[in-house]
Amino acid sequence: EVHLLESGGGLVQPGGSLRLSCAASGFTFRDYAMTWVRQAPGKGLEWVSAISSGGAKTHYSDSVKGRFTISRDNPKSSLYLQLNSLRAEDTAVYFCAKANSSSSAFSYFDDWGQGTLVTVSS
């Protein structure tokens, strides 16, 4: 059974940084692309970033490009999201999700974690 566990969320001041982690188990992590999706309180889903299975290809939404960095450590079966220059509008639950294939493009997301809350406030 696929299991994805996010961690690293918390309260951070505007302009601050945070690193989110997603520990994966129950599947061969190195074979699948992964993604981060966020959801602001009471709002809809917003895609953040995706990374190919080997880590060579990454994609970002326009709203986070240049501020967030996605990465992965395949031997550790872990996905990361480095959040820099945080703004109030980045406040959200951040979900990691597994893609259906090794390619980060044109995929859908067939397993999701429960999310970790990031709150950006002074």
Partner 1 sequence: SYEVTQPLSVSVALGQTATITCEGDNIGSKHVHWYQQKPGQAPVLVIYKDNNRPSGIPDRFSGSNSGNTATLTISKVHGDEADYYCQVWDSSQVFFGGGTKLTVL
Using CA atoms, how far apart are residues 82 and 56, in angstroms rounded to an integer?
17
Residue ranges in contact with partner 1 by CB under 8 A: 35, 37, 44-47, 50, 59-62, 95, 97, 100, 105-110, 112-115
- Whichever of 30 and 46 has its CB closer to partner 1, that residue is 46
CB of 93 to partner 1, least distance (A): 9
> Residue 71 is which amino acid?
S
CB of 91 to partner 1, least distance (A): 17
- Whichever of 14 and 110 has its CB closer to partner 1, that residue is 110
**φ, ψ of residue 14 in degrees (nearest 5):** -55, 135
Q: Is 101 strand, coil or helix?
A: coil
